[in-house]
Structure 1
Amino acid sequence: MIEKSFRLWAEFFGRASEKHFRRGVLFTSAMLAVGGTFSPLHPAHAQWAVYDGANHVENVLIAARTLQQIDNQITSLANQAQMLVNQGRNLASLPLSTLSTLQSTISQTTALLAQAQNIAYSVQSVEQQYQQAYTSVSAGMSDGALFSQAQTRWQNSVGGFEDALKLQARVVGNIPSDSSAMTQLVSASQTSTGALQAAQAGNQLLALQSRQLSDIQAELAANGRAMALQQSRDAATEAESDAQYQHFSQHDAYVPGTVSMFGGSGN
């Protein structure tokens, strides 16, 4: 079959050169590949495949659009996956917690306040003991009773100043631990992976500040208590002095008399 085609091409080109003959062979081979093979069973006419260029272009465009849609879907899925990752980061909890340390410090400060000497931080205690030691001074009291109340007031004042000093020492002792906790929380906030971690770090910083404010409040209360006890003592001392003066003034006036010395007769 191929040799018959070669002969047809040789007759067609006649005196064509060998170069042109080879080109004819290549063209015939291409025609066989595109249009099918020649067969002696078929009629004498050749079979040619019809190429529709417009349909081919349309198919290519459809394929391109399909690929673009697939690419858009892949991009959308990637964005959704990234969004889920970001949401997971935003919902991640902060691994650092200073709550137990803050609660322990507050408990220690509260324990010191509860150990207040003599007159405690209680309205009922203040009313009862203040009435007994500071406002019950009168001229009719004996010297022993006045001295006992004065001793009680002095002990209250000394105890108040001691309590204030202890609380001040506790507040100052909290400074290093507060500094360490603040450094850790600020570092955790700056390196947080999501919004929740940053918010939790900020909340713990606010809790630390609240605890520090409670220390200041307790210190002011202790200092105010000590000063109030001292001022009350001073006021009671004035009342005691007045009572002692009135008690002394109730005795008879001094009457001079003759004193005999060495058994003499008044010389």
Structure 2
Amino acid sequence: MKLQSSLKPRLAALAVASVLVLASVQPAHALFGVGDIVLDPSNLVQNTLTAVRTLEQINNQVQQLQNEAQMLSNQAHNLASLDFNVVNRLRASLARSEQLIAEAQGLAYDVQNLDSEFARLYPDEYAATVSGDQMYRDARERWGHTLDGLHTAMRMQAQVSRNLSEDESALTDLVGQSQSATGALQAMQATNQLLALQAKQSIQAQQLQLTQDRAASLELARQAAASERAREVRRRFLGEGTPYTPQSIQFYGN
């Protein structure tokens, strides 16, 4: 390309010089011969100018091809895929949190099973047919549910604390990949994975909040059921007849 660019002005200068020399020696329409060869100065000038224009067209075509090659090279960089993916790491982290919820003891997270269990253990009032022993066993079971809820919340807190260090490592890797991206596609893929990390942390925060709220709800429900049990026990102790009225008693006929 450099050779062609330097050759173009030389040819142009040569053509101009030829025109000046021939014009000074012979008229534009005159013919002169060298040996058996007859030269026409006007044709020589025209052919030289045609060669210069042809060379200029070739240079333009070469420049256009170089521009297209550069454009294709840029497109190749932009379409290059990012050879880095943290999605599986994020999924594994969420799976561990979900496993803790699945292992939770006490009241089930399933709505249908929860309704039946809650109605049995946390009644609005106790029927007269429910024995004192049954009320004691229910109170014991409610206490166990509350303890399990607190245990699950603490396990989730420990898991989230462990996940934070893994998230920090993933964030560092993703930022490095984003800064070293060679094209638009790699930068976009790195950005998408950063958004996936943000979404994972949001889901994890919701899981943690869910277990904490569940533990608090179990404790409040246990307190409400304990109040109802105490009311029923007191009612049965006092009975529904006429309460005892103290009277004076005389001993030894006095």
Please, which of 212, 234, 243 is the counterpart of residue 201 of structure 2? 212
Aligned to 2:34: 35
- Taking the aligned partners of 1:133 and 1:245, their CA distance within structure 2 comes to 19
The alignment status of 1:253 with 2:244, answered yes or no, reads yes
The alignment status of 1:82 with 2:70, answered yes or no, reads yes
User: Contact (CA 8 Å) 2:124, 2:228: kept in 1 or not?
Assistant: no
Q: SS at the partner of 2:219?
A: helix
Aligned to 2:221: 232
- Taking the aligned partners of 2:214 and 2:125, their CA distance within structure 1 comes to 21
AA at the equivalent of 1:217 = Q
Bigger radius of gyration: 1
CA drift of 1:257 comes to: 9.8
Aligned to 1:173: 162
CA-to-aligned-CA distance 1:15-40 (integer Å, 9 cap, x gap): xxxxxxxxxxxxxxxxxxx733xxxx
The alignment status of 1:108 with 2:107, answered yes or no, reads no
CA drift of 1:58 comes to: 1.7
Q: SS at the partner of 1:197?
A: helix
Report the CA distance shift for 1:160/1:254 in structure 2 as closer, same or farther (over 3 A).
Answer: farther
CA drift of 1:256 comes to: 7.8
User: Contact (CA 8 Å) 1:189, 1:197: kept in 2 or not?
Assistant: yes
Q: How does 1:59-138 map to 2 (within 5 A)?
A: 59-135=47-123, 137-138=125-126
AA at the equivalent of 1:253 = Y
Report the CA distance shift for 1:242/1:139 in structure 2 as closer, same or farther (over 3 A).
Answer: farther
The alignment status of 1:182 with 2:181, answered yes or no, reads no
The alignment status of 1:243 with 2:229, answered yes or no, reads no
CA drift of 1:57 comes to: 2.2
User: Contact (CA 8 Å) 2:149, 2:218: kept in 1 or not?
Assistant: yes
Q: SS at the partner of 1:220?
A: helix
AA at the equivalent of 2:141 = T
User: Contact (CA 8 Å) 2:105, 2:148: kept in 1 or not?
Assistant: yes
CA-to-aligned-CA distance 1:144-199 (integer Å, 9 cap, x gap): 11211111111111110110111111111111111111111111111111111111
CA-to-aligned-CA distance 1:49-86 (integer Å, 9 cap, x gap): 65533322222211111111111111111111111111
AA at the equivalent of 2:96 = Q
The gaps in structure 2 that reach 5 residues or longer are 1-32
Aligned to 1:14: none
CA drift of 1:210 comes to: 0.9
- Taking the aligned partners of 2:173 and 2:34, their CA distance within structure 1 comes to 81
User: Contact (CA 8 Å) 1:102, 1:208: kept in 2 or not?
Assistant: yes
Q: Which runs of 4+ in 1 moved over 6 A?
A: 254-258
User: Contact (CA 8 Å) 1:91, 1:196: kept in 2 or not?
Assistant: yes
Q: SS at the partner of 1:106?
A: helix
How many residues end up aligned between the 2 structures?
217
User: Contact (CA 8 Å) 1:139, 1:247: kept in 2 or not?
Assistant: no
User: Contact (CA 8 Å) 2:146, 2:218: kept in 1 or not?
Assistant: yes
CA drift of 1:255 comes to: 6.5
AA at the equivalent of 1:223 = Q
The gaps in structure 1 that reach 5 residues or longer are 1-33, 37-46, 259-264
Aligned to 2:21: none
Identical-residue share of aligned pairs (%): 38
- Taking the aligned partners of 1:185 and 1:113, their CA distance within structure 2 comes to 29
AA at the equivalent of 1:81 = A
Q: How does 1:134-173 map to 2 (within 5 A)?
A: 134-135=122-123, 137-138=125-126, 140=128, 141-173=130-162
- Taking the aligned partners of 1:254 and 1:113, their CA distance within structure 2 comes to 57
User: Contact (CA 8 Å) 2:157, 2:208: kept in 1 or not?
Assistant: yes
Report the CA distance shift for 1:35/1:92 in structure 2 as closer, same or farther (over 3 A).
Answer: closer
Q: SS at the partner of 1:125?
A: helix
- Taking the aligned partners of 2:115 and 2:156, their CA distance within structure 1 comes to 24
- Taking the aligned partners of 1:176 and 1:225, their CA distance within structure 2 comes to 26
